Amino acid sequence: MRPQLHYWIAAGLSAAALIFSSSASAQTLYSTGFENPPFTTGSIAGQGGWQVVGTANAAQIENTKAESGSQAVELIPALNSSSQTGPYHVDSTAAGMVDLSADLYIASSSNQSEWQFAGLASTLSPFLGGIDIFPDGSVRTLTAGFPIVGTWTYNAWNHVDLLFDITDQTYSLSIDGSLIASNIPNCGDNGPCTGGQTANYGAGVFNTFGTEANNDIGYMDNFSVAVVPEPATTTLFLVGGLAIGIRKARRRWGRI
């Protein structure tokens, strides 16, 4: 199995290199692995420009679980005393194409809560789009009708990538390098997702709707926001997915 895996990874890298060499690079607006420096363990509120919706102490920088490095964000529903809580970072841009991504880990429990990863305007209203992870494990996109597009894998790191086309008011969703859905109409509000216009990307948020009754826990690592040149959109999305797939393959099969 290893030689075959090595062959496909090598072939994929060669193809990606040929495609990527003819494309413009994405411009990173903000990227962090939540390492020290500058982040120290404790509440993330006020660190590195991060703010928290709802209960501030429910979102902590911790050093016991991380996708890479030694630190990540820990979000604890049981500490939430409001309707929802979670960290967000404002990175406003008037660009026509914006990529938002992060590694997310949600532990399974006997009383699972609902989770969300999304992009919004800088005032946190309205939503552009994103995903809701329901207690039954279904993954739903933030758009009219909130359709189910997949099933979440608990107790594992999952790389979530949202590519927002501000010009067309649509977005695409990729998880662990696989394109799950594309041309999803923007939510456009903070309620039923009626598809109202969202002028620009403003912020990314990871939050939970859980409260004291829930005993699950979530983590976020490797948060990134980048402006993507429109002619290179598909290429960059695929190359990014390939990189994540290779990283996970190396972790599963050992160094190749």
The total number of structural domains that make up the chain: 1
Q: Is residue 2 part of a domain?
A: no
Q: What's the pTM value of the predicted model, to 2 decimals?
A: 0.83
pLDDT tens series, the chain, 256 aa:
323 333 333 334 333 333 333 345 889 999 999 999 999 999 999 999 999 999 999 999 999 999 999 999 999 999 999 899 999 999 999 999 999 999 999 999 999 999 999 999 999 999 999 999 999 999 999 999 999 999 999 999 999 999 999 999 999 999 999 999 999 999 999 999 999 889 999 999 999 999 999 999 999 999 999 999 976 444 445 555 555 554 554 443 333 3
Q: Is residue 254 part of a domain?
A: no
Q: Is residue 14 part of a domain?
A: no
Rg (Cα) of the chain, in Å, rounded? 18
Q: Is residue 17 part of a domain?
A: no
Q: Is residue 8 part of a domain?
A: no
Q: Is residue 252 part of a domain?
A: no
Q: Is residue 115 part of a domain?
A: yes
Q: Is residue 67 part of a domain?
A: yes
We report the CATH number of the domain holding residue 55 as 2.60.120.200
State the residue range of the domain holding 179: 26-228
